[in-house]
Every structure is written in C-alpha cells, then in structure tokens.
C-alpha cells in the first residue's frame, strides 16, 4: 500500500521539459491563422466506360457495406445478446461494493445502486512551473449505465515579467463504455471542442478512456481526447491514480495538452466526488 501511494506521489515531481515563452499566445495566434485558399483544386478527368458490370459491382459494394457496418457496430457498441457485461449497472460509487469499480452485476448484487443514476465531478490543479499553470474541471452525468454526458473545462494561465495571458479550452462529449467489468471499464467519447478568449472556434472531438480498480480503494485512469480546430490539433491526454474514500477521491497524475504547435506538460493534484 505504501509503495503504491509513494509511486503516485512521484508523478508530482515529473520534470517538465523545454519551456518556451508566450506559449499560450502562440497557440491562439496559430488557431486564428486563415486557411490558404489559393491552393488549386485538382482537376478530375471523367471517362466513359461500359455499364455492363454495374449491377454486380453494386451488389458487392452493398455486401461490403453491411460487413463494415456490422464490424463497426460490434467494436463500438457490442452485442447485448452475447456479452453479459454490457448489462452490468452503475455502482453507487466505486468500492461501494467490495472490489467493484463503476459497474456491478445486478443479478449478484441487488443494492449496488438503487437509482442507477450518478453525477461525477472532479477538479485538478495543473502545474508546469511558476509561470505556467492551470485548472481542469470535469463533470460527468450518468443517467443510466449505457451512455453518459461529459464536459471538460481547462483554464490555463501564463505569466511573464511584463505580461500575462490565459486560455479557456472546453470539451463537450457523449460517452459510451464498451467494456463494463466489475474492476475495469473501457469506452469512447464523441463530441465537440471549443476554445474561447480571442479564438472562439469549435472543432470535432473524439476520444477514449479506461479505468482499472485495484482491491484496496485505488484505481488508475487513462484518457485521451483528439480534436482539430482550424485544422490545428487540440488534444488532451491524462493519466492519474486515485485513492477512494466512500463517495469521494483524491488524485495525482500527469496531463499533456497539444494546442496547435505548442504542447504543455502538467503534474496534477486534485479530487472528486460521486453524487
């Protein structure tokens, strides 16, 4: 137990590399750059060909389309008639049932969550150095075990000798846990990103996340969100360890952000609650 806690604390002293000045301003300037509209569009040449094989080709394309659709559905949603873990329900909070994380089998535990509803909130302080730091607030609304709505709010601050800057980054996503085991869950998210301040632009967002629960009120989480705004990457990656106590937890970890060309590394310290 002490070794695990010590390992979690070590993440707070990660040495962040290569700090360059005015990174937030550079990110915003790059996201505001106009697209190059002078690139000539390639000309397409059309040629006439016989239509004798169109019927066979359309049947083959239809068959391939159905196979692709089935494969995508199985990999992203699953088969509820075969995979019993997809019927697992939300716990009241992790470790509410001994050695269980976010999900439980309702046929084995009748009182795992009376309402089958949960609202998860966490907040983390992000630290790079004395000039660059921030905050990450996350809210996750789980009306049932199938889907959830998740919002992330990053507020970054940068201070120089004669200037200061800040940047607000948001993610709004619909999430689905593809694997729902008692000590492990894995899923994906799909939605939008938005940068405020002097940028004020939206982008498409998608991501993946996983959490593993140990036996002694400790869990490990990893997540990633990919997005593009004005054809520039706006990505967020996080890993953290959590120590759970009843319906709240404390966490330590690491976050990496890509906002246009500049990237940001942060050690994190925070906590959360399950309502």
Percent of the chain whose predicted confidence (pLDDT) is above 70: 84
**Using CA atoms, how far apart are residues 114 and 125, in angstroms rounded to an integer?**
33
Q: Decide if pLDDT at 142 tops 60.
A: yes
**Using CA atoms, how far apart are residues 67 and 80, in angstroms rounded to an integer?**
18
What CATH number belongs to 2-12+81-274? 2.40.160
**Using CA atoms, how far apart are residues 219 and 216, in angstroms rounded to an integer?**
9
Confidence (pLDDT) at 138: 99
Confidence (pLDDT) at 131: 94
Confidence (pLDDT) at 42: 54
* pLDDT single digits (tens) 19-74: 445 899 999 999 999 765 555 555 554 444 445 556 667 888 877 887 877 777 78
Confidence (pLDDT) at 21: 55
Alpha helices in the chain (DSSP H): 2-10, 23-31, 54-76
pLDDT band with cut points at 50, 70 and 90 for residue 106: very high
Q: What is the dihedral of CA 54, 58, 64, 70, to 10 degrees?
A: 180
Boundaries of every domain in the chain? 2-12+81-274
Q: Tell me which residue of 17, 266, 32, 24 sits closest to 160, measured CA to CA.
A: 24
pTM of the model: 0.85
* pLDDT single digits (tens) 145-204: 999 999 999 999 999 888 899 999 999 999 999 999 999 999 999 999 999 998 999 999
**Type and span of the H or E element at 173:** strand 164-180
Mean pLDDT over the full length of the chain: 88
């Amino acid at each position: 137990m002490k070794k695990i806690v010590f390992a979690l604390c070590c993440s707070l002293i990660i040495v962040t590399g290569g700090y360059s000045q005015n990174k937030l301003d550079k990110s915003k300037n790059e996201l505001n750059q106009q697209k190059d509209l002078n690139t000539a569009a390639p000309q397409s040449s059309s040629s006439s060909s016989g239509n004798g094989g169109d019927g066979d080709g359309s049947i083959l394309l239809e068959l391939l389309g159905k196979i692709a659709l089935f494969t995508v559905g199985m990999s992203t949603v699953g088969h509820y008639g075969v995979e019993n873990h997809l019927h697992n329900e939300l716990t009241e909070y992790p470790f509410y049932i001994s050695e269980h994380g976010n999900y439980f089998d309702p046929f084995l535990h009748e009182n795992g969550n009376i309402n089958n509803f949960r609202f998860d909130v966490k907040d983390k302080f992000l630290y790079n150095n004395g000039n660059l730091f921030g905050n990450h607030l996350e809210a996750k609304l789980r009306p049932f075990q199938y889907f959830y709505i998740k919002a992330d709010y990053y507020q970054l601050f940068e201070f120089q000798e004669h200037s200061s800057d800040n940047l607000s980054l948001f993610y709004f996503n619909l999430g689905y846990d593809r694997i729902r085991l008692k000590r492990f869950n894995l899923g994906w998210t799909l939605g939008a990103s938005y940068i405020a301040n002097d940028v004020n632009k939206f982008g498409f967002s998608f991501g993946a996340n996983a959490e593993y629960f140990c036996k002694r009120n400790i869990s490990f989480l990893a997540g990633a969100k990919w997005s593009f705004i004005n054809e520039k990457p706006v990505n967020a990656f996080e890993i953290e360890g959590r120590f759970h106590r009843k319906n709240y937890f404390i966490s330590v970890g690491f976050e990496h952000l890509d906002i246009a060309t500049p990237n940001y590394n942060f050690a994190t310290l925070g906590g959360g609650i399950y309502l």
